[in-house]
Structure 1
Amino acid sequence: MTALLWAMVRARRGLAVITLVLTAAAAAAAAAGPLYQQAATRSLQEVEVSAATVAERVVSAQNSEPQWRDQTPSSLPYVPGFQTVEGRVLDGVASGELDRTQAFVAWRSGMCEHLVIVKGRCATGEREVVLRTDTADRIGVQLGRDMELTPPATTGPDDGAQPLRLTVVGFYQRPAGDDPYWADREPLVGQRIPAVFATERTLAAARRDTVRTVDLIATPAAFADMDTLRAELEDAEAELEAGGYNADSDLPELLKRLDEGTAQLGSSLLLAAVPLVLLCWLVLFIAVAGGVEQRRGELGLTALRGVPARTRWWLATAETALPVLIAIVPGYLIGYAVTTALALTVLPGAPLVEPEVTSVVYTAVAVLGALAAGMLAQVRALTTPVLGLLRRARVRRRRGLVGGIEAMVGALALVAGYQVAVFDGDSASGGIALLAPLCIGLGLGLVAARLIGLPAERLGRRALRKGRLRTGLAALTLARGGGTHWIVVLLTVVFGLLGFALAAGDTAGQAWEQRAEVQIGADRVLSVAPLPATSLVSAVRAADPQGRYAMATMKMNVNSETALLAVDSSRLAAVALWPQAYGTLRPEEAARLLKPAPVTSLELQAAEVDVTVTLDALDADATVGLTLRLATAQGRQSQVRVDRLQPGTHQYRVKTEVCAQAPCRLKQVSIDHFTRGRYRFDLTVGDLRDPSGRVLVAAAALAGHHWRLPETSAARPVPEVGPAPAGLRIRVDTTVTPDLRVFPDTAPERLPMVAAGRLPDVLLGYGGTVRLPVERAGTMNLVPRHGAQGALVDLEYADMRLNQEGDAPDPEVWLAADAPADIVSRLEANGLNVLSERTAEGRWQLYREQAPALALWFLAAAAFTGVAFAAGGLLVTAVLERGHPDEGLAVLRGQGVRGRVLRGAALGGRFAIVLTGTVIGLLAAAGSWVLARGVVPVYADGGFAPTGTRLPGVARPFLVPPPDLPSPMIALPIAVAVLVLLTTCLLATRVAARVNEGATS
């Protein structure tokens, strides 16, 4: 029996080779899914860990108990893949030859490897220190000289704490705040209070209580086994707690993102491999069914000679099963090799692909499916009566039952695809919902393959009657059935998946680019150290006087779901990126709406100022004082005060040294009223002059300026303010303590804002103590930085209303793409300290390396592999024509039809099959896209809803919905795929023509 089996395989070795190749392809596709998932998960971990904030990569712990006498380090936790860094910190005052400054003295294990020493060396001995370069210049300390460290004046008595003489052995450059080694600790990388680094013995010599720190810093290797990592972190935190440390970390946020990304990859990639395996099975079914048809006569003679049915079944099955089972090993190796090449090409970091159990299981399932497909293809021949098998010309069976079953299966597939798309598309992305395009393509292909037969046959008959032989025979080839309709189904599924994958990749790419532009706001964004808003605006305008490439921005602190971003609106159009996702409002129009009128200010410049004040209606036992708050363009603040005003009109001289070299802006006028009775006075602020009598701010300017009062209430009334011939008049008459501040404010009463989403009429600032009336001046779909729940406001207007005191919250400088190379040095020369830089290009690149992008890469690769399978199916049908010239068009040679006509008809028939399958497949892709585009994973932090639908749950401000339609550029790869298949038709026609012509000659 074995010899007979080998003889059968050798006799039909071509079919055996085809079966082996197709099975190996199915096995390779099945193995590629889990193998790629494993490599993509490693790549994703590296990308997410690299992009994580310092707080998400570090477990920080500290213990502030008195420990300076204990020189023995406590037990430190160890977590595989983490770097454990111990440290000590104490605060003090560092004194040099010129000045003294508050400083932190710190020791950190391994600090000399991470400090950038610009002069001298690192501290290695007792009482040696290294200073930050700017600190050394400010306090006047030279290399090799001594400095003194004393306890801060604000601390209480500390037994044994004496001034410590330290030797400066080196100067270091300020560490980067985004270096995880420093764990984002303010005493180590802070700007205002510098760090002085010393050895641990030096800190012990200070004989003061120190804060001990322990930081666990994660590396990408720590995330190889997430379950083990969580268990190790729990043990480490318990150990820290037992040692008296308080631990804190945002690491759970990073672990959550990694879990979500891994889940996206797991569902998307494995289900992307399913269509490939099914396509292989379909081509294998076509090949085996065609091979069985080749040996119909052999099977009939075997049955005629009385061979038992079970033996005939076993021989037919074994002939197919042998190459199928042999294909397991080469198929797995091919899948491994292809996945390795794909990982090296498209995955960030080119991770190593390692064999694992899941891929072997999937390979076995694919091979068993191939075996089942082969057995199914033989059922028809093995159940046909002997007379039907021996008949030279097959009797055309009615398609009623078979066609009905196929139509029913196709309809069910369409319904399944629709249900998956509709019920999962609005609430989730990825997962089993990604099978929707496959179901829709398969269903439409099965239905269409049966329906095109009748119109194709009518077209063929009509063409023959008119004498157009090539057209008629090509149409009849499409209509004759056999394996033709399976090729149409195959092509429909292939182009349905290809069109959907290309549309998904194209729209996702557009969404990533626009989201990067929305989230960053400009081509480059510089985060700067905190400083007043006026200083920020002044420095940026000085670095870019024409307003062509730099813009100041800051965040506004308000208690509202709407996040506010304050921008220097005069530069918005020149600097900010403006993607289509923002809507129809142009940046020039937005800038005009944000700032309908320029800001005017009351300015003066003098070392001394004479203030004219008229005071009336003051009770005898009351006193009144006057305070002016001034600020330079560089942000230097000054308050000048007249302690006691006299009734009547008088001039009072105040010193304004801050305003001697540069103009100052009047930011606030406040009255200090002390009384035991009723709060009552009538005060007028008149001319402000320099000692020579020159008017700096005229009384008419004070009277004509717009002044704003604080929020009033029954418990906190405000004065009456208005113009008077002598200047600004302020009146009070109340028994309740009033708020006697007035602010020069030329901004509109209700601040104009350009907003996306809901914008309340009033916003609350500073914990609800300040009410900010606003109005919507314009509407956008999304706003820079804050997306769908945000608003823009002019920075100068916002500074007048919400930032009268203190530094600007989260100050930034936005830069255009054409900003000069030295812009950072220009900004620093004007007083800004640049802390970090972000770019839209970098953010876009991050989106291209996260889980959805890695999944879409595999989906695209799978779709193009499907085109290769379709080409293989066309070649298989050509090869199966060997030895059967009596069943093809070649029999017409005996009827006088020229060979050239027959070859043209054969080629036209194949072209018709390809073009028909392509058109139906693209229709399936269009239908799938309309119904199921919401199932495509686009963002690692959530899905999206198509235009017009509402995202469930909490609003995601940065989720820019992809466009509804892809760009026309996806037609190019589709055209290439069609060209490849048409070229394959030429090759298949030549193969079939040579064989058939040789058989009929």
Structure 2
Amino acid sequence: MLGLVIGALRARRVQALVMLALAAVTVVAAAVAARAADTAGEHAARARVAAATVTERTLRVRGTVTAGDRPEEVLRRMANLVDAPVDEKSGGLRLAGDLVDADGNHRQAADLRSAEKLCANVTLRQGRCVGADGEAIIPEELARLLGVGVGARIVHATGLTAQPVTLDVVGIYTPLDPAGWFWAGQEGTAAYTTTPTVTAAKATVTATFDAVLEPEAFDDAAGLKSGLDRLRTARFEVTSGAAGLADAVAADRRSVHRSVGLAEAQILLVGGLAIAVAAAYAAQERRGDAARLAIRGLPRWRIRAATAGQSLLPLALGAIWSPRLFAAGFVIVTAADWSATRGGVTELMRDVRPRRPLAAATAELCALGLAAAALFQIVAAPAADVRRDTGFGLAQVAPLLVAAGLGVLGTRVLLAAAGLYGRHALAAGRLSGALAGLTLGRRRTAYRIVPLLAAATCVLALAAQDWHGGATARAERARVELGAERVLRVAPVPRERLLAAVRAADPGGREAMAVVVTGAAGSAPVIAVDAVRLRAVAGVDGTALHPGAPAPLVFTGTDLSLRAAGDGNKLRVLLAADGTGEQAVAEFGPLSAGPDPYTAVVPGCARGCRVEAVEADRGTVELRELSAGGRTVIGGAMFADPARWRTTVAQASAGIQVVQTGGVLRIGDAEPRTRRPVDSRLYVVDAPVPLPALATGDAAASETHDQPAASIFGASVPLDPTSTALVPRGGGNGILVDLEYAARITAVAVGAVPSAERPEVWLAAGAGDAVIANLRAAGLDITGSDTVTAATARADRLAPSVAALGDLAGAGIVLLLAAVAAFVVAAVDRRDRDAEQAALRRQGVPQRLMRRVERRAALAPVLVAVVLGLAAAVLLRILAPPPVRAFSDAWPVQAPAVQATALVCAGLAALVVFGAVVITRVGRR
């Protein structure tokens, strides 16, 4: 019997090879998909950790250390309790209090801290790093507020029970990387010193331990959470987003496994259908073999073994690594062989095969029922449930079922329409159309192959749309989150200097824009941009952020003259140097009622200064005129103009009363109405207050239902927000303001504290290297850069993109399997078509006409299948979202449900592949 089967296989090599290829491709593709799931999930997890924020990767532990404890033991205990793998770590102490200058004139709230790896994470603007007890380094902004520099002596005072700590300032610093892991745990303002210096206060201090976790730490979410719980049980305060990141990593792995598993299921299902088609056609070819074996008197079971073995043997060789596929194939082949060879000898010898309408109708009803059930489940299930990992139900294989159901209906319409068209064409004398229609209408080939081709086309169209939509959404998100086509990171630099340097490097305002990212911890980030350049660089209309405002009061000269009167008190004019923002103060007085002007020398204004505010000692002051170098800067009319002067903004209470009349500005004392800090300065109005802003959602909402405000450069600034869905860099959570106006409002604001600021330069798409060279020439230190292309590439390595790419690869294999099935149909049906062509040739039909007829008849099912597959894909995408979101978080995706470009490309690909297969078989006769 085995020799008989092998001899038959030699005679029908093509059928055997096709069955072998179908089984092998299905098994190999499914095995590769299963193995790729682990690899792809691991890569996606590593990419997710690499793309995580500093807060998500860091672990911050805080504990109280009393004066009698040994802080080094507490820090060692903290480190020992952190059993997760650590990449970077830093321990230290911190003590809250105030810093006071040696004269006691300036006081600023600031911690006294010690921290490991401090010197490796700062940029020293002046002096050196801490080297001995009693030495300290302070941030640049704090040094300005205290009015001290390197070599100055300051005192840190905590309270009545603690001892004041005297510090020698040996360095002025700025953070090396304000967005890095080290500074993520150093919120607030502080002077940094040694650990013994902090403990010298003999007060209760806070021990701190900050660590960046290794990527491997997020592989075990349960273990990581258990470690965090142990720290909390030890009465330590723990702050970390690591648990959430570990959950996200686990979810990414599940998402990739689910997506690849779904692709594997589709491959197995389509492979099984392709094997069924090949087995059915092969069984029809073996009807003559069954008849001849029956004439020789062989038992029925041996006849079935001899005929079915011709498909089972290559199937077994191809599916050797998949017992499940072989078992399913065994049932399919046996059933197909039984259906084709169950008749008697006379029936088996007939060329015209018997029609079994009941069996065909039953199969059609089953296909339509499954398609309807799948559609019902999709429509009835919420969108969130479609994406949920709930196993493999009808909703998961809906593309195959719906497309196959449409294929069954489409085939019925195709056959009926083809026969009708053929008869009408014959009556009209159109021989080519008549032959094509009648040929197609008589054959059952389309009935068997159209549903399979439609299902493969649908799967490919859905995968292509999901991948294209996700890729587009990721590119758009990268552009929004980055802000511009290219972003340059800049070493810490004063805001006014950054603004002046960028404007000097790009005087046309079309290629570069100064940006500073700031904001209070835990609140929406504030992105301060040079709004007049926002449209050219970032493609966002910034007109509303930079409305007209009174011109700044600027002058050039070092000699100032003031005509004023007072009660023996002094008056200070607060100034900002043009282009650098460096602060200067012109002090006049003591003021009296005499007519003589008062003078002051300000060397820092030789290249120009801007008047920011005036401040007087207690008492009453009358201001009439301020001049520089003999030229009037502020005349009496401007002093008396209420539109040019304002008192404090939201974070302080006004400590003065203002009267403006008769060309005189009179400033007097006023009792504050609240317990907020008192601000006795009168500010020049050269920026709109409230400050216009673009804000997402409730980013600028006030918790007290008062004027909306935001922390900008360490000061609370009232806002006039306009709601928007997304803002550059902030995405769905951010506030966009004008950098120039924000800097003017906050420059000398009372109550402002040093803030974490990240200066950047955004470049437009067409900006060249010349602009970067100009920026460096203007004095900016560029420390790094990022582009939309790089950000998109990072997003493409995350789980949603990996899952979509896996779906697309699986759809390609499904298309290949369907094409092989189409090849089988065309090859097996070749004998009948050859006989028909020979008969028509004997009747005088030209060869050229016959080839044209054959091509039309062969392409018609392909065209119908592709159209039906695309229609099913459109229907499914309208009814249900993609099974995998474009992003792991809740980022809004504004993509259309149907991606026309991807749909057309998928349709063309299916048409080319299927058309090439059937045309090749026609052309080879």
TM-score grouping bracket, smaller chain normalisation: 0.7 to 0.9
**Greater displacement, 791-800 / 238-247:** 238-247
How many Å separate the matches in 2 of 1:936 and 1:872?
A: 28
Distance 1:667 1:809, change over 3 A: farther
DSSP-derived class of the 1:935 partner: coil
Q: Is this contact kept in 2: 1:393–1:887, CA < 8 A? A: no
- 1:853 is displaced (CA, Å) by 1.5
Matches for 1:612-761 after TM superposition, within 5 Å: 612-614=563-565, 626-633=571-578, 634-638=580-584, 646=592, 648=593, 653=598, 655=600, 657=602, 659-670=604-615, 672-673=617-618, 684-689=622-627, 694-704=631-641, 706-707=643-644, 709-710=646-647, 721=658, 723-730=660-667, 740-748=680-688, 751-754=691-694
Matches for 1:932-951 after TM superposition, within 5 Å: 932=880, 934-935=881-882, 937-942=884-889
Q: Deviations over 1:236-290 (max 9, x none)?
A: 5577779997654332232233123222212222212333322222221111111
Equivalent of residue 795 in structure 1, options 728, 732, 739: 739
The question of 1:403 aligning with 2:332 is answered no
Distance 1:961 1:694, change over 3 A: closer
Q: Is this contact kept in 2: 1:77–1:236, CA < 8 A? A: no
The question of 1:457 aligning with 2:419 is answered yes
How many Å separate the matches in 2 of 1:174 and 1:591?
A: 30
How many Å separate the matches in 2 of 1:508 and 1:880?
A: 41
Matches for 1:964-975 after TM superposition, within 5 Å: 964-966=897-899, 968=901, 971=904, 974-975=907-908
Q: Deviations over 1:565-614 (max 9, x none)?
A: 432112212322x2xxxxxxxx4xx3333323155112345556443334
Distance 1:791 1:52, change over 3 A: closer
How many Å separate the matches in 2 of 1:186 and 1:562?
A: 18
**Greater displacement, 518-527 / 832-841:** 832-841
**Alignment partner, residue 729 of structure 2:** 785
DSSP-derived class of the 2:626 partner: strand
Q: Is this contact kept in 1: 2:458–2:872, CA < 8 A? A: yes
- 1:406 is displaced (CA, Å) by 0.9
**Alignment partner, residue 855 of structure 1:** 803
Equivalent of residue 437 in structure 1, options 386, 399, 413: 399
- 1:906 is displaced (CA, Å) by 2.8
Distance 1:523 1:75, change over 3 A: closer
Distance 1:891 1:275, change over 3 A: farther
Distance 1:808 1:611, change over 3 A: farther
Q: Is this contact kept in 1: 2:710–2:718, CA < 8 A? A: no
Distance 1:231 1:762, change over 3 A: closer
DSSP-derived class of the 1:551 partner: strand
Matches for 1:914-933 after TM superposition, within 5 Å: 914-932=862-880
Q: Is this contact kept in 2: 1:470–1:908, CA < 8 A? A: no
How many Å separate the matches in 2 of 1:259 and 1:808?
A: 36
Q: Is this contact kept in 2: 1:765–1:802, CA < 8 A? A: no
**Alignment partner, residue 864 of structure 1:** 812
- 1:2 is displaced (CA, Å) by 5.2
**Alignment partner, residue 618 of structure 1:** none
Q: Is this contact kept in 2: 1:23–1:284, CA < 8 A? A: yes
- 1:765 is displaced (CA, Å) by 2.6
Distance 1:557 1:606, change over 3 A: same
**Alignment partner, residue 986 of structure 1:** 919
How many Å separate the matches in 2 of 1:712 and 1:211?
A: 34
Matches for 1:490-501 after TM superposition, within 5 Å: 490-501=452-463
**Alignment partner, residue 34 of structure 1:** 34
Question: Could you tell me which amino acid in structure 2 is paired with residue 684 of structure 1?
Answer: E
**Alignment partner, residue 144 of structure 1:** none
**Greater displacement, 240-249 / 316-325:** 240-249
How many Å separate the matches in 2 of 1:969 and 1:570?
A: 38
Q: Is this contact kept in 2: 1:414–1:444, CA < 8 A? A: no
- 1:968 is displaced (CA, Å) by 4.2
Distance 1:749 1:59, change over 3 A: closer
Distance 1:871 1:767, change over 3 A: closer
**Alignment partner, residue 102 of structure 2:** none
**Alignment partner, residue 765 of structure 1:** 709
**Alignment partner, residue 434 of structure 2:** 472
**Alignment partner, residue 253 of structure 1:** 244
Provide the aligned C-alpha RMSD in A.
5.4
Matches for 1:150-169 after TM superposition, within 5 Å: none
Matches for 1:313-328 after TM superposition, within 5 Å: 318-328=309-319
> Unaligned 5+ residue runs, structure 2?
100-110, 124-128, 144-149
The question of 1:877 aligning with 2:825 is answered yes
How many Å separate the matches in 2 of 1:487 and 1:13?
A: 22
Q: Is this contact kept in 2: 1:604–1:659, CA < 8 A? A: no
Question: Could you tell me which amino acid in structure 2 is paired with residue 537 of structure 1?
Answer: L
**Alignment partner, residue 502 of structure 2:** 540
How many Å separate the matches in 1 of 2:724 and 2:185?
A: 39
DSSP-derived class of the 2:542 partner: helix
Distance 1:575 1:108, change over 3 A: closer
**Alignment partner, residue 51 of structure 1:** 51
Q: Deviations over 1:42-72 (max 9, x none)?
A: 2212322322334433445577856589899
How many Å separate the matches in 2 of 1:816 and 1:91?
A: 40
**Alignment partner, residue 815 of structure 1:** 762
State the TM-score, normalizing by the size of structure 1.
0.72
Q: Is this contact kept in 1: 2:587–2:600, CA < 8 A? A: no
How many Å separate the matches in 1 of 2:298 and 2:562?
A: 123
How many Å separate the matches in 2 of 1:684 and 1:865?
A: 86
- 1:936 is displaced (CA, Å) by 5.1
- 1:475 is displaced (CA, Å) by 2.3
State the TM-score, normalizing by the size of structure 2.
0.78
**Alignment partner, residue 591 of structure 1:** 542
Q: Is this contact kept in 2: 1:523–1:814, CA < 8 A? A: no
Q: Is this contact kept in 1: 2:27–2:325, CA < 8 A? A: yes
How many Å separate the matches in 1 of 2:71 and 2:488?
A: 40
Matches for 1:543-554 after TM superposition, within 5 Å: 543-554=505-516
Distance 1:400 1:780, change over 3 A: farther
DSSP-derived class of the 1:815 partner: strand
How many Å separate the matches in 2 of 1:914 and 1:906?
A: 13
Q: Deviations over 1:7-62 (max 9, x none)?
A: 55556554333222211222123223222211111221232232233443344557
Question: Could you tell me which amino acid in structure 1 is paired with residue 532 of structure 2?
Answer: S
How many Å separate the matches in 2 of 1:553 and 1:471?
A: 69
DSSP-derived class of the 2:708 partner: strand
DSSP-derived class of the 1:988 partner: helix
- 1:230 is displaced (CA, Å) by 3.6
**Alignment partner, residue 328 of structure 2:** 369
The question of 1:280 aligning with 2:271 is answered yes
Q: Is this contact kept in 1: 2:646–2:683, CA < 8 A? A: yes
Q: Is this contact kept in 1: 2:176–2:491, CA < 8 A? A: no
How many Å separate the matches in 2 of 1:815 and 1:290?
A: 64
> Unaligned 5+ residue runs, structure 1?
94-101, 117-121, 139-146, 167-171, 333-362, 579-586, 616-621, 675-680, 943-955, 994-1001
Matches for 1:140-179 after TM superposition, within 5 Å: none
Q: Is this contact kept in 2: 1:540–1:813, CA < 8 A? A: no
How many Å separate the matches in 2 of 1:816 and 1:162?
A: 46
How many Å separate the matches in 2 of 1:566 and 1:163?
A: 35
How many Å separate the matches in 2 of 1:239 and 1:735?
A: 49
Distance 1:424 1:68, change over 3 A: closer
Distance 1:364 1:688, change over 3 A: farther
Distance 1:13 1:811, change over 3 A: closer
Distance 1:872 1:716, change over 3 A: closer
How many Å separate the matches in 1 of 2:897 and 2:600?
A: 65
How many Å separate the matches in 1 of 2:895 and 2:492?
A: 36
Q: Is this contact kept in 2: 1:492–1:918, CA < 8 A? A: yes
**Alignment partner, residue 950 of structure 1:** none
Q: Is this contact kept in 2: 1:68–1:208, CA < 8 A? A: no
